[in-house]
Amino acid sequence: MSSLTKDTDRYFEEIEEGESFTVDAVRTITEADIVNFAGLSGDFHPYHMSTTVAGDSDFGERIAHGNLVFSVAEALVADMNPRSFSYGYDSLRFVNPVPIGTTLTVHREVVETEPYNDSLGRVVYAYEVEDQAGTTLLACQHITLVERQPGE
């Protein structure tokens, strides 16, 4: 099991490109997660909810909502640095379907750091979600703004 350590209180200048962090196989997507996510989001598409329709589809079985996988993965690795603000996501891609029973490994890496203005720096993380066999399921870039060290 991966350590659960995440970023804590750091200024922009303390964050370096290439830093990475992996949460290894800590959560399996279950039927209950899919049922609960349908109920929360309101997305009851039969690819998620019907064994019959999903079974007859190219997937051959029910698959998780893309946003369920995204939301769980984001919660596993998202930065807890109180000096950091979420700006948004780019290039969110649902690369492969996620059937019930998939265990998620999430990898986060700093891929870009540049000054944004006098008080903030822009830090971009690449997130990658894999299943237990190492197949990529989801990828995205998380753009954050982080406070700069006073007097720098």
Question: Considering the complex, what minimum distance in angstroms separates the CB of residue 82 from its own copies?
Answer: 7
**Toward its own copies, which CB reaches closer, 45 or 152?**
45
- 78: Cβ contacts below 8 Å, ≥ 6 apart: 6, 86, 142
Question: Considering the complex, what minimum distance in angstroms separates the CB of residue 83 from its own copies?
Answer: 12
Per residue in 5-41, is it b (16+ CB within 10 Å) or e — as a string?
Answer: eebeebbbeebeeeeebbbeeebebeeebbeebbeee
**Toward its own copies, which CB reaches closer, 65 or 148?**
65
**Measured between alpha carbons, how far is residue 120 from residues 11, 29, 109 in Å?**
9, 36, 20
Question: Considering the complex, what minimum distance in angstroms separates the CB of residue 34 from its own copies?
Answer: 8
Where along the sequence are the contacts to its own copies (CB under 8 A)? Answer: 1, 3-6, 8, 25-28, 30-33, 35-46, 49-53, 62, 65-68, 70-72, 74-76, 78, 80, 82, 86-94, 101, 103, 132
